[in-house]
Amino acid sequence: QSVLTQSPSVSGAPGQRVTISCTGSSSNIGAGYDVHWYQRLPGKAPKLLIFRNSNRPSGVPDRFSGSQSGTSASLAISGLQTEDEADYYCQTYDSGLSGWVFGGGTKLTVL
């Protein structure tokens, strides 16, 4: 079981907005550590999508946004496009484990 909990799957139609959640605990997200998000397209290397809760690397469209509150974090994708179909992972640090941890991943299907 992953330290960070993500729904296994989410879906949406082109143009819609979806939210992917990442639930942790007081030893990771709740402790105030930054949350980061990655996108893994089929057959591709994982790509940094959001860093430090809400920052987008250069080249990532502003359709992607991140937020964090309490022991959870969320990735929102607006204006869904077919090319957004991928696996999405959250990541942070866990003080109990003294290391970086990931969520189990959420598979986004664009209907």
Partner 1 sequence: QLQLQESGPGLVKPSETLSLTCTVSGGSISTGFYYWGWIRQPPGKGLEWIGSIYYSGKTYYNASLKSRVTISADTSKNQFSLKLSSVTAADTAVFYCARHPGGGDRRNWYFDLWGRGTLVTVSS
- Footprint on this chain of partner 1 (rule: CB under 8 A): 2, 33-34, 36, 38, 43-48, 51-52, 57, 89, 91, 93, 95, 97-105
Nearer to partner 1, 37 or 84 (CB): 37
Nearer to partner 1, 49 or 77 (CB): 49
Q: Tokens 């090319």 appear where?
A: 83
Nearer to partner 1, 14 or 96 (CB): 96
CB of 46 to partner 1, least distance (A): 5
CB of 13 to partner 1, least distance (A): 27
Q: Which residues pair with 101 in a beta bridge?
A: 92
Any idea what the Cα angle at residue 14 is, between residues 8 and 18, rounded to 5°? 40
Coil, helix or strand at residue 111: coil
Q: Rounded to an integer, what distance in angstroms lies between the CA atom of residue 84 and that of residue 87? A: 9
Written as six digits, the tokens of 81 are 């496009």
